[in-house]
């Protein structure tokens, strides 16, 4: 146990502050590493845990629940969330249930089941909880919410490294990599690093054109479609 008011500090770093997505992108790996600086340079006898959370970009989302009535699928209920991360990954050396209790996990959003999704609609509590669980399950199934309980190494209680898998379907945008130092179930220190995931090359050109010049991008898409259709028709007429 660390005594007194002095707290340890984290000095984190990442191996890449920007991850570029190209047409052949099949996924990547982000390494977060660093050192723990203890008061007086004395390493405590009790072991410590390092937990790294990578999440972003935040987005508003509307979920609809479909039910089959009289042979027809219709929208039966819906829920809107004001803020939910499009991607969330947590790396640790062991399962989070062995590191912190439910209250601490909820405060620091340590684990996919502890995410604070900020509901914006007035659904009954049971229905809102069902939608929250559905969103987490959907994104976990798509590889966008990830828990890696064996992805952190702490060496001699001072140096640490964490490896986080970045899937091919990761959304582009601004991310935060939060590193937490935990001992005896208490968060003693935390630091944040910014990460950007963006498109590169032709993919970046297309994304920029569609966002900044929507009218001309749409017009070019229509013209290209008509041209390809005309070429295909001409080829089939000759066969």
- 41 plus 107 within the same structural domain: yes
Share of the chain above pLDDT 70, in %: 79
Residue 17: pLDDT above 70? yes
One domain for residues 53 and 139: yes
Interatomic CA distance for residues 179 and 56, integer angstroms: 15
Mark whether 59 and 105 lie in a shared domain.
Answer: yes
Same domain, 121 and 226: no
The stretch 91-119 carries a mean pLDDT of 93
147 plus 178 within the same structural domain = yes
Residue 212 binned pLDDT confidence (cut-offs 50, 70, 90): low
* Mean pLDDT over the full length of the chain: 83
Strand partners, 79: 63
Phi, psi of 82 (to 5 degrees): -70, -35
Q: Is residue 119 part of a domain?
A: yes
Question: Do 167 and 218 share a domain, yes or no?
Answer: no
In whole angstroms, how large is the CA radius of gyration of the chain?
23
The helix/strand/coil state of 114 is: helix
Same domain, 92 and 112: yes
Residue 142 confidence (pLDDT) above 60: yes
pLDDT at 209 over 60: no
Cβ atoms of residues 120 and 181 within 8 Å: no
What CATH number did the domain enclosing 66 receive?
A: 2.60.40.1930
Domain that holds residue 128: 9-200
Domain total in the chain: 2
98: left (phi over 0), alpha (psi -120 to 50) or beta: alpha
Return the pLDDT at 220.
Answer: 62
**143 shares a domain with 91:** yes
Looking at the structure, do residues 220 and 186 belong to the same domain, yes or no? no
Looking at residue 69, its pLDDT comes to: 67
- In a 13 Å sphere around the CA of 158, the CA atoms on its Cβ side amount to 7
Q: What is the pLDDT of residue 205?
A: 45
Please name the residues in contact with 150: beta carbons below 8 A apart, sequence gap of 6 or more: 93, 94
* Domain co-membership, 217 together with 147: no
Q: Is it the case that residue 223 has pLDDT exceeding 70?
A: yes
């Amino acid at each position: 146990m660390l005594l007194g008011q002095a707290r340890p500090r984290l000095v984190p770093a990442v191996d890449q502050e920007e991850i570029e997505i190209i047409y052949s992108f099949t996924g990547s790996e982000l390494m977060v590493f660093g050192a723990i600086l203890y008061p007086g340079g004395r390493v405590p006898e009790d072991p410590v845990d390092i937990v790294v959370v990578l999440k972003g970009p935040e987005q508003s989302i509307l979920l609809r629940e479909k039910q089959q009535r009289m042979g027809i699928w219709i929208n039966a209920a819906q829920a809107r969330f004001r803020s939910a991360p499009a991607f969330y990954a947590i790396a640790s050396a062991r399962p989070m249930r062995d590191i912190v209790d439910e209250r601490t996990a909820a405060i620091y959003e340590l684990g996919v089941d502890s995410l604070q999704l900020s509901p914006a609609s007035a659904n009954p509590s049971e229905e809102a909880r069902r939608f929250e669980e559905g969103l987490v399950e959907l994104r976990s199934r798509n590889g966008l919410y990830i828990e890696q309980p064996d992805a952190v190494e702490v060496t001699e209680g001072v140096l640490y490294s964490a490896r986080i898998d970045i899937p091919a379907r990761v959304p582009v945008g601004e991310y935060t990599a939060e590193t937490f130092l935990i001992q005896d179930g208490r968060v003693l220190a935390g630091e944040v690093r910014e990460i950007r995931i963006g498109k590169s090359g032709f993919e970046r050109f297309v994304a920029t054109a569609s966002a900044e010049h929507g009218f001309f991008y749409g017009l070019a898409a229509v013209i290209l479609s008509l041209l390809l259709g005309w070429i295909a028709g001409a080829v089939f007429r000759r066969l």
